[in-house]
Structure 1
Amino acid sequence: MSRIEDLEVFVAVVELGSLTAAASRLARPLQTVSRALAALEDDIGVELIHRTTRRSTPSEAGEIFYRRIKPAVDEIREARLEAAQRRMEPSGVLRIGAPALFAPRFLMPIVAEYMRKHRKVEVELDLSDAFVDLADGGLDMVVRIGDLADSGLMGKRLGALRRVVFGTPSYFADHGRPMHPNELKQHNCVVRSGGDRPGAWMFSIDGKPREVKVAGPLRVNAMTAIYAAVCEGLGLGYSPLWQIEHLIAEGRVEIVLQEFEPAPVPIHVLWREGRVPTAKVRTFIDLLSKRLKLDHL
């Protein structure tokens, strides 16, 4: 039976086109790589690699064999790495990106618990509402709210967040309550400026996502200012529910148009170390998944 080391050699030769390059990738002597490839071919009984002085290319049988074993070799390599990571104690600097308003309330308690458990880890938090590239920002992981682009990053879903329309009891007393999203055109709406679609509020109408354009005399570029403006009775606001829960609990604002709420916005944690994260990343993701329960918000 062929050894996994021989299969790794074969995969490397096919992908790099050279025994020398394969030896360099695997950090093995060239003679060892050559013997491993020969042993694999002897075991299977067919030539897998055509060798010349300049190039090593797979034979027809080699191409078929490569396509079949490549996923299995990757899985075995990652299983080994994961097992090794689990033996390691987390250490070093863990750099985490997260939304500015979200992190203090939801992330900081988890960071504190994590640091008490793993004394050899230092944590750096980079708080921004922009979608910072992990590599450019030097981040190990990032918590993102919103639909994900096909970035090639590994990720795990943590929950989803509701979006609601809200206003003060005094505003509703003076202007009435909208019963349908289309009625928002008759209301003052506090619009968040900036972004690619300012004044575009999403709803679910007749079971389908619909964008409703809103407007008002006041536009601001920060959510905290929108909450303050709505509380002053200047109009209606549109916000993630979790950001205004305290205002609802205090009776300062009320939610309307609940039956037209759009689909909740997903929240994920993403990392860039490949399919198997490092010990410091893996242990934080495990704790984050256990502690962060957001599907009710």
Structure 2
Amino acid sequence: MASLEHYEAFVQTIERGSLTGAAKRLNRSLQSISRALAALEDELGVELVRRTTRRLHPTPAGFMLFEKLRTALKDIENARAEAGRDADRVSGVLRIGASVLFAPNHVVPTATAFLQRFPEVEIELVLNDALADLIEDRLDVAIRIGDLGAASLRSKKIAQLRRVVVAAPSYLTRRGYPKAPSDLSTHLCVVRTFGPEGDIWPLTQGAEIARVPVKGALRCNDAAAANAAVLHGAGIGLAPLWQVRHDIDAGRLELLLPEFEPPPIAVSAVWPASAGAPARTRLFIEMLSHRLAGERI
């Protein structure tokens, strides 16, 4: 009968894409991983893995087994961690998804501190501005700004991000200052073609949120490039404060319409609902939440 070691070898083979990767992850020999996979296929009487020249891929039956075993093994790991009740023994690989711009300043410092606190943990950062699929990308937790993605995910709000309207002094010298949201219709605005707003900016007017149409000669699908365009005087921009704070502090950008500041957007940690979050995931979320609470974002 297949043992827990057989199941672990199979799951790691699929996650790592090779027998070699599984052997390295489990600190076992390549031969033992190969034997475990063959024994599991023999016992079940079905092919679980197809081998190509570059990577191993699960068959339909293999993928179904992988999904169930992955959840079961996480539950076993969680049970062991809970039984130990010893935070100093937190270990394993923690795969964290985050956006390319947000991670360096706001996730990496916490990740570094976390590794110092829990030296038996390894962290893999998976940075992507697209909305990652946690199961497909094998993420334990993702740090998301705004959209949480699938409703089946578990989530915890860990911070709120201010958004501001800004422009470069060179632009304001040419075109003047908007005094009210309606004035934006006479200005050039740098439009972000990604995200929920685009060319409709949500600005606070009293107790309500006004959706103000904007337009401009430059549209962009990347946050860093959009911020650079605003910095070079292409037009007025709407951006999270954390992305442009240094330029505001240095006088390279000016804050506009502060009394009409858009509502903040949430930063949340999300993780798969199919299994309870292991101790390392919960502790990382707590540490990141505490750190962000003390930052000006």
- TM class, shorter-chain normalised? 0.5 to 0.7
Q: Which residue of 1 aligns with 2:124?
A: 124
Distance in 2 of aligned mates of 1:85 and 1:179: 60
> Which whole-Å deviations, capped at 9, do the CAs of 1:70-117 have from their partners, x for residues lacking one?
xxxxxxxxx988842633622221100011100000111111111122
Instruction: Give the drift of 1:188.
Output: 0.6
Q: TM-score of the superposition, structure 2-length normalised?
A: 0.67
- Mapped contact 2:81–2:90 kept (Cα < 8 A): no
Q: Is the 8 A contact 1:201 1:213 kept in 2?
A: yes
Judge conservation of contact 1:82–1:276 (CA < 8 Å) in 2: no
Partner of 1:151: 151
Q: Is the 8 A contact 2:194 2:222 kept in 1?
A: no
Q: In the alignment, which residue of structure 1 is the partner of 2:168?
A: 168
Asked if the contact 1:200/1:212 (under 8 Å) is kept, the reply is yes
The alignment covers a number of residue pairs equal to 219
1:255 alignment partner in structure 2: 255
1:219-267 alpha-carbon deviations (Å, 9 max, x no partner): 1221211222112212111100110011011100101111111221011
Tell me, which stretches of 5 or more residues in structure 1 are unaligned? 1-78
Local SS of the residue matching 2:136: helix
Any conservation in 2 of the 1:85–1:279 contact (CA below 8 Å)? no
Who is 1:51 aligned against?
Answer: none
User: CA, structure 1 residues 117+194, in 2 after alignment: closer, same or farther (shift >3 Å)?
Assistant: closer
Instruction: Give the match for residue 139 of structure 1.
Output: 139
Q: How does 1:77-226 map to 2 (within 5 A)?
A: 83-84=82-83, 86-87=85-86, 89-148=89-148, 151-195=151-195, 197-226=197-226
What RMSD in Å do the two structures reach over aligned CA positions?
2.4
Change (3 A) 1:139 1:229: same
Larger radius of gyration: 1
Deviation at 1:149, TM superposition (A): 5.6
> Matched residues in 2 for 1:284 and 1:253: separation?
34
Q: Read off the aligned partner of 2:136 and give its amino acid letter.
A: D
For 2:195 and 2:253, the matched residues in 1 are separated by 26
Percent of paired sites with the same residue = 41
Determine the C-alpha separation between the residues in 1 that align with 2:134 and 2:250. 38
For residue 168 of structure 1, what is the amino acid of its counterpart?
A
The alpha-carbon deviation at position 133 of structure 1 amounts to 2.2
User: Does the 8 Å CA contact 1:159/1:295 hold for their aligned counterparts?
Assistant: no
SS in 2 for 1:282: helix
**1:146-166, Cα deviation, whole Å (9 max, x unpaired):** 154672322222110111110
Amino acid at match of 2:103: A
Q: What is the letter of the counterpart of residue 85 of structure 2?
A: R
* Contact 2:141 2:281 (8 Å CA) reproduced: yes
Q: Is the contact made by 1:160 and 1:295 (CA closer than 8 Å) also made in structure 2?
A: no
In 2, distance between residues paired with 1:80 and 1:176?
63
Output the amino acid matched with 1:86: R
Conserved in 2, the CA contact under 8 Å of 1:147 and 1:265? no
Give SS of 2:129's match: coil
Secondary structure in 2 matching 1:134: coil
Q: Which residue of 2 aligns with 1:286?
A: 286
- Name the amino acid aligned to 2:185: K
What is the DSSP-based 3-state SS (H/G/I as helix, E as strand, rest coil) of the residue aligned with 2:85?
helix
**Residue type of the partner of 1:84?**
A
Assess if the C-alpha contact under 8 Å between 2:159 and 2:289 holds in 1: no
Residue deviations 1:180-225 (CA, integer Å, cap 9, x gap): 1111110011112245653121111232122212111111221211
Quote the Cα distance in structure 2 between the aligned partners of 1:80 and 1:116: 24
Asked whether the 8 Å contact 2:97–2:125 carries over to 1, the reply is yes
Q: In the alignment, residue 86 of structure 2 is paired with which amino acid?
A: R
The question of whether the paired residues in 1 share the 8 Å contact of 2:247 and 2:253 is answered with yes
Query: SS state of the match for residue 135, structure 1?
Result: coil
Structure 2 partner of 1:240: 240
> 1:128-175 CA deviation, whole Å, 9 max, x = no partner?
122212112210001111154672322222110111110112322221
Q: 1:106 to 1:295 in 2, by over 3 A?
A: closer
